[in-house]
Amino acid sequence: MILTVTPNPSLDRTYEIPSLDRGEVVRAVGERVDPGGKGVNVSRAVTAAGRRTVAVLPLGGAPGALVADLLDAQGIEVASVPVAGATRSNVALAEADGVLTKINAPGPELSAAEQEALLDTVRRHAPGADWIACCGSLPRGLAPSWYADLVARAHVAGVRIALDTSGPALRHALRERPDLVKPNAEELAEAVGRPLATVGDALKAAEELRARGAGTVLASLGADGQLLVDGDGARFGSAPVALVRSNVGAGDASLAGFLLAGGRGAEALASAVAHGAAAVRLPGSVMPGPAELDPGAVTVTARIPLDRPLSEPAT
């Protein structure tokens, strides 16, 4: 079982519009509502693979109830922590030419009692978990050391923990030695405080995160692929994608793929890359299932292309 923790989930409303004209009334030609949040995406990908997952989510108000209903309809088990504030509603404006504008709300502030209830819910479900995946930003009210606490508690319970977060939350958590972190290029650059122009720069930065406490670093480098750095050294994986539909959630799909394949080594890296590539071939944040994967297209090598420039350098 893979336990996911999404401290700041959302109800994502996507409007399809011809084009975005500021200051005008824009008529949507389509509308959809999805449960949102990075851990929620991981749970959706795990479910698509036919494996068990529980998604721990603070949920409040009518949007929170709707998130729970939508996940239930998708067959995803939710361990919800009732909170007084309403779950945030995010809005995405999808223009006909493919440009996506997102408006993300801050979300409710969690009280001390709600924070404790959230930790307690993770603790109750941890014993049955192979991995705990903690994903996304922290809502207001949670200290930047909140994920660090969670890492320490997971280790007391003897459960491996993966983190997909950034900034101070990541920095604090490294001290508690998370088993896995999955930064993208931007998050990696921010964590080491310098820009990344090449795969070699990303490798150095990933090694630095290991030195600061991460057991394994799975760095996702967008179209360029992924770097896996662990105690055995480094490996690089990639897969070409002819038609990119949407890269939203590709990192979440990758993390799910890595954990689903055991969470270590070249095979898990190959699965992460296959899941990332499949996710970008699908629209929106749709998570791939086994039928959408093309493992044959994935290359994994221990010869890191150090001098290869990143197609999107991280500043």
Ligand X SMILES: Nc1ncnc2c1ncn2[C@@H]1O[C@H](COP(=O)(O)OP(=O)(O)OP(=O)(O)O)[C@@H](O)[C@H]1O
Angle at the Cα of 228 from the Cα atoms of 194 and 301, rounded to 5 degrees: 115
Closest by CA to 172, choosing from 156, 152, 189, 186, is 152
DSSP conformational letter for 308: P
Nearest approach, Cβ of residue 41 and Mg ion (Å): 9
User: Does residue 244 bind ligand X (CB under 6 A)?
Assistant: yes
DSSP 222-271: GGG-EEEEETTEEEEEE---SS----TTHHHHHHHHHHHTTSSHHHHHHH
In the set 164, 252, 294, 307, the catalytic residue is: 252
Interface with ligand X includes 222 (CB under 6 A)? yes
Tokens at residue 162, please? 């993966």
Please say whether the beta carbons of 202 and 210 come within 8 A: no
184 DSSP assignment: B
Residue (of 85, 40, 41, 91) closest to 61 by Cα position: 85
| 277 interacts with, out of ligand X, Mg ion, none, CB within 5 to 8 A per kind | ligand X
The footprint of ligand X on this chain (CB under 6 A) covers a number of residues equal to 20
Q: Is 14 in the site for ligand X (CB under 6 A)?
A: no
DSSP state of 197: E
> Of residues 107, 108, 251, 263, which one binds Mg ion by CB under 5 A?
251
If contact means CB under 5 to 8 A according to the sort of partner, which of ligand X, Mg ion, none does residue 250 touch? ligand X
Q: Which stretch binds Mg ion (CB under 5 A): 74-82, 84-92, 184-192, 206-214?
A: 184-192
Part in contact with Mg ion (CB under 5 A); list of ranges 57-65, 82-90, 170-178, 179-187 = 179-187
Taking CB under 6 A as the rule, does residue 48 contact ligand X?
no
Catalytic-residue membership of 201: no
Sites of contact with ligand X (CB under 6 A): 184, 220-223, 225-226, 241, 244, 247-252, 254, 273, 276-277, 280
Sites of contact with Mg ion (CB under 5 A): 184, 251
